[in-house]
Amino acid sequence: MNMSNAVEFKTGWLVCQAKVLSSLNIADTSGARRRGLIGQTEIETPLLIDSCKWIHTFGVKCTLDVAYLDEKMQVIKVQQVKPLRVAMPVFKAKHVLEASAGTFENWGLVIGHTLEARRT
């Protein structure tokens, strides 16, 4: 691959209730948002997509945990999305968090939690 075309994510830490949940990739440019997790067969690092109301999993090869976040980074909807699907838009969402299936249950993440993305 030509490295000039490679999309790089910003990085940080995902924090909830003063606890670090995970390292984090952040898609905050149009190129990074378009790239998302396409081509991934395993998700080691969750992805926070800024300025996002809906996702698709075309090109993603594993089931995702997806959390929709409002402007205050509060979780307003959680769902699992299988490969080759288009999720319905969540119009109040400002950000979307994607992780491998089962991650949110392991974290105890539920609707109403407020997340923080601490950028490195």
Write the pLDDT tens digit of every residue in 77-104: 999 999 999 999 999 999 999 999 999 9
User: Is 2 a member of any domain?
Assistant: no
| Residues contacting residue 118 through CB under 8 Å, at least 6 positions apart | 12, 13, 14, 15
Total number of domains in the chain: 1
Please state the length of the chain. 120
- 22-28 average pLDDT score: 96
Name the residue range of residue 73's domain. Answer: 10-119
User: Is 66 a member of any domain?
Assistant: yes
Who has greater pLDDT, 81 or 39? 81
Q: H-type helices in the chain, by residue range?
A: 30-35, 103-107
User: Coil, strand, or helix at residue 31?
Assistant: helix
User: Is 3 a member of any domain?
Assistant: no
User: Is 71 a member of any domain?
Assistant: yes
**Burial letters 89-111, b for 16+ CB under 10 A, else e:** ebeebbbbbbbbeebbeebebee
Q: Tell me the percentage of the chain whose pLDDT exceeds 90.
A: 88
